[in-house]
Chain A
Amino acid sequence: MNLYYFMRDALVTATGGGRRYHLWMGTLTLLMLAGLYGYSVQLRDGLAVTGMSDHVSWGLYISNFTFLVGLAAAAVMIVLPAYVLKDVDFSQAVLIGEGVAVSALVMCLAFVVVDLGSPHRFWHLIPGIGFFNFPSSLLAWDVIVLNGYLVLNLCIPFYILFSRYCNRLPRKRLYVPFVYLSVFWAVGIHMVTAFLLAGLPARPFWNSSLLGPRFLASAFAAGPAFMILLLQFIRANSPYAIRDETIAKLAMITTVAAQINLIMLGSELFKEFYRHTHHSQSAYYLFFGLDGHHALRPWIWTAIILNITATGILTLHRLRNSRFWLRPACLMLFVAIWIEKGFGLVIPGFIPSPLGEIVEYTPTWIEMVVTLGIWAMGLFVLTVLIRVAIPIELGSVRSPKATDVETKLQGLGAQS
């Protein structure tokens, strides 16, 4: 019965709100519908409506996928200190972080599905009724780790929120082991996704042992950067108390990760450009262009400049601790890593082709609309999750059956 009340109250909370809220959700819905239309065209006419070809066989979809896996994994940076190091500061941010992980994973799975040529055959992937090529295929690994991570990140916050909703204290012995598991799992999803690309000797641009660590470093820069922006927004727009220390600690994590990421970038650039071999052709294409083809050049230099500027700002304590500088730095870092680890990583892997042919890739409007639609879906999911989680955390939404025991509870914050 409590579950029914929970679902009902969640629905009521998620659908109620002021004009700004409805405008936001309405815009997201419109974008999702536009994406759906784009996808319907793609389903009808095939992936020929995208800019992809046999030469560049993955494009904007998989680029966003690799980036978002990082965002999902970065939720671990929030979970880790909160539970493992018993850093109480973080507890308010944990649920938000897991919400970000869930929405990022929803986007990841959507990007993989829209990239499939025959999505109606998805059941071929289901172990038992399909043919699951495990452990040989890294994509099979990815299916397991992503879905497992999604389940973990749905179950843990649900248990915590539902307990609070029923006015019960969540039992640590029940959920903390799963929190530890999800910490390892988060590293796993990102390493597996990196191995998916790094395991292809056919593509020297990806076939690097640094790819996995670099994925982690960039994720732990972009993820907390996004969290800072989100937490500041929540703090400004709700009574949910997020302390300055939480933000400061997140900024510290972002800074260290961004610095490590830059060191790794430098190491990669040295290897690619000190001695120019056939294996550096893709990097040459990305940074300087090859034979008059240089579609990605402006993008990657934008990313590099944003990356260095943001890391510079974050490194200086005075600037990092000022609210005026922190926000643009986080935004710059997020965009820089989206470029660098999205299409700045995936597309050059295909250019030139293994036989040396140069065919460029430009996304079509269908791809862009579908991509926008999926981002809108992710933000929609995130908004709903946060919208429901915050009043429950604050204690303003409670099961009608639980009111009588409310007095027994302590330390759950102010009842509004």
Chain B
Amino acid sequence: MNTEKTRFTFGDLMVRCGFATASEKTHTARQGDTQGGCGNPRPQTGASCSCSGGGACNGGGNPPGGSSLTAKPVTRRQAIGAMVGGALATTAFAASSLSPKTSDEEREKTLLKWQEYFKDNFRLMSDREKAETIQRLERLAYLDHATDVKIKATGAKPGVLFGYAFNISKCKGYRSCVDACIKENNLDRKSGMQYIRIFEMENGKMDIESGNAEYDHPVPAEGHFYMGTQCFQCANPPCVEVCPVGATWQEPDGIVVVDYDWCIGCRYCEAACPYWARRFNWSEPEVPAGEVNANQHYLGNRQRKKGVVEKCTFCVQRTREGRLPACAEACPTGARVFGNLLDPDSEIRYVLEHKQVFRLKEELGCEPKFWYFMD
């Protein structure tokens, strides 16, 4: 398993050579990943981030370790953002004095969205920028959806590489995992988005293309078995390679994530994935206010907007805290085995060492970290 090595893209190189924004950022972002923005205080209603300068606002959310960055020079884009943001605030203020409709909240919302628009790719953010954007996003979630959410940016733990195994003998096709995934990951209810697909396969065939994922009858059906697919978090992911803006990448613990606020929605990654694991938000995603999972991660289940791509992250918001992904926890048959591939005592390692396992489309060389096995 040579998947531990960090992939070094040309984009990183450009950043390091100073062709992209602030050359010191990659470095600090990588170091700061493990601390992220966890532990920042809740935004105070109305008061947080309503100061006019974009990026200049110093909300109380500085995580430990971010202090060295306070002297960081302001980039060109931040400066533009701040200037236009200031102008916008003035305009909004002028507008509000004319129209009684524009409330303080709306003005705050406009300003927050404007600051969000000018923020950087998550990988290039300093710890302080991460904390600030999280604060803005939490506040916006409250203003937009009246939900109190907690967004984390917990980084990958060293010595962890996540892997998944799926027991074909045990799965009965109940789709409990599918439901749990929808709820856990705040998937769009309107379009019925699902990360997981369970294929009903006829006995005697092992070709997933002959399976049927749209079955609608009591399960398990006679003479059939079931195979689940989702994002396999490939060690050599073609989706990451093709993204023109570097909005998707592989984290050190092997999870392929998407920066929803950086994705431009070209859907090249959807075309590149041989496992049909990526989903696009064709319209504004909807999750009823009461059903929002408030325990969120910046790279995981936080609420998406229309026009961006998303995917399964092995429930990064749970698994980086030592919990199981929602699908594995919900499975009533014990068909799903999840764990750390670098831990010799883990259940996934036991499966890989003691069972005959196989992966889908191995000939494409994507090295998925998702194995199938039988009892």
A contact set with B: CB distance below 8 Å: 45-48, 50, 52-55, 57-58, 112, 115-122, 124-125, 127-140, 143, 196, 199-203, 278, 281, 349-350, 352-357
The residues of B that contact A202 with a CB separation of less than 8 Å are 238, 271-274, 364
The residues of A that contact B279 with a CB separation of less than 8 Å are 54
B contact set with A: CB distance below 8 Å: 9-11, 14-15, 19-21, 76-77, 117, 121, 124, 191, 197, 199, 207-211, 213, 229, 238, 241-247, 262-268, 270-276, 278-284, 305-309, 361, 364-365
Q: Report the separation of the CA atoms of residues A134 and B244 in the bound assembly, to the nearest whole angstrom.
A: 7
Closest chain-B Cβ to A223's Cβ sits at a distance in Å of 26
Q: Is the CB of B244 within 8 A of A125?
A: yes
What 17 new A-B contacts, CB under 8 Å, besides A133-B9, A202-B273? Answer: A47-B280, A47-B283, A48-B306, A57-B280, A117-B281, A117-B309, A118-B263, A128-B19, A130-B245, A133-B11, A139-B244, A140-B244, A200-B238, A354-B274, A355-B199, A356-B211, A357-B276
> Interface residues of A: mostly helix, strand, loop or mixed?
loop
Please provide the 8 A-B residue pairs with the shortest distance between their CB atoms, ordered closest to farther: A117-B265, A356-B209, A117-B307, A202-B274, A48-B283, A48-B282, A139-B244, A46-B306
The residues of A that contact B307 with a CB separation of less than 8 Å are 46-47, 116-118
Closest chain-A Cβ to B30's Cβ sits at a distance in Å of 15
> Interface residues of B: mostly helix, strand, loop or mixed?
loop
Known A46-B306, A57-B280, A357-B213; judge A128-B266 contact (CB<8 A). no
Q: Report the separation of the CA atoms of residues A138 and B241 in the bound assembly, to the nearest whole angstrom.
A: 9
Closest chain-A Cβ to B204's Cβ sits at a distance in Å of 17
Closest chain-A Cβ to B257's Cβ sits at a distance in Å of 15
Among the interface residues B14, B124, B244, which one has the most CB atoms of the partner chain A within 10 A?
Answer: B244
Known A48-B282, A117-B280, A131-B121; judge A139-B191 contact (CB<8 A). no
Closest chain-B Cβ to A178's Cβ sits at a distance in Å of 25
- Please, which residue of chain A has its CB at the minimum distance from the CB of B273? A202
Q: Report the separation of the CA atoms of residues A117 and B271 in the bound assembly, to the nearest whole angstrom.
A: 15
Which of B244, B264, B275 contacts A119, CB < 8 Å? Answer: B264
Q: Report the separation of the CA atoms of residues A323 and B271 in the bound assembly, to the nearest whole angstrom.
A: 44
Q: Is the CB of B76 within 8 A of A129?
A: yes
Known A117-B307, A124-B264; judge A46-B283 contact (CB<8 A). yes
The residues of B that contact A349 with a CB separation of less than 8 Å are 271
The residues of B that contact A112 with a CB separation of less than 8 Å are 266
Q: Report the separation of the CA atoms of residues A349 and B276 in the bound assembly, to the nearest whole angstrom.
A: 13
Q: Report the separation of the CA atoms of residues A141 and B21 in the bound assembly, to the nearest whole angstrom.
A: 20
Q: Is the CB of B284 within 8 A of A46?
A: yes
- Please, which residue of chain B has its CB at the minimum distance from the CB of A142? B244
- Please, which residue of chain A has its CB at the minimum distance from the CB of B309? A117
Q: Is the CB of A137 within 8 A of B280?
A: no
The residues of B that contact A352 with a CB separation of less than 8 Å are 209
Closest chain-B Cβ to A364's Cβ sits at a distance in Å of 12
Closest chain-A Cβ to B269's Cβ sits at a distance in Å of 9
The residues of A that contact B9 with a CB separation of less than 8 Å are 133, 136
Closest chain-B Cβ to A346's Cβ sits at a distance in Å of 9
Closest chain-A Cβ to B128's Cβ sits at a distance in Å of 19
- Please, which residue of chain B has its CB at the minimum distance from the CB of A133? B246
Known A117-B280, A124-B245, A354-B273; judge A131-B262 contact (CB<8 A). yes
The residues of B that contact A57 with a CB separation of less than 8 Å are 267, 270-271, 280
Closest chain-A Cβ to B185's Cβ sits at a distance in Å of 15
Closest chain-A Cβ to B281's Cβ sits at a distance in Å of 7
Among the interface residues B76, B263, B271, which one has the most CB atoms of the partner chain A within 10 A?
Answer: B271
Q: Is the CB of A116 within 8 A of B11?
A: no
Q: Report the separation of the CA atoms of residues A69 and B238 in the bound assembly, to the nearest whole angstrom.
A: 24
Q: List 28 A-B contacts (CB under 8 A).
A: A47-B265, A47-B280, A47-B307, A50-B282, A53-B282, A54-B282, A57-B280, A116-B266, A117-B281, A117-B306, A117-B309, A124-B245, A125-B245, A125-B264, A128-B19, A129-B77, A131-B20, A132-B244, A133-B10, A133-B243, A136-B9, A136-B11, A139-B242, A139-B268, A140-B244, A202-B272, A354-B274, A354-B361
Which of A47, A137, A355 contacts B244, CB < 8 Å? Answer: A137
Q: Report the separation of the CA atoms of residues A117 and B266 in the bound assembly, to the nearest whole angstrom.
A: 6
- Please, which residue of chain B has its CB at the minimum distance from the CB of A117? B265
Q: Report the separation of the CA atoms of residues A372 and B77 in the bound assembly, to the nearest whole angstrom.
A: 36
Among the interface residues A46, A58, A125, A138, which one has the most CB atoms of the partner chain B within 10 A?
Answer: A46
Q: Report the separation of the CA atoms of residues A82 and B315 in the bound assembly, to the nearest whole angstrom.
A: 61
Q: Is the CB of A355 within 8 A of B208?
A: yes
Closest chain-A Cβ to B192's Cβ sits at a distance in Å of 11
- Please, which residue of chain B has its CB at the minimum distance from the CB of A140? B244
Known A46-B307, A357-B213; judge A200-B264 contact (CB<8 A). no
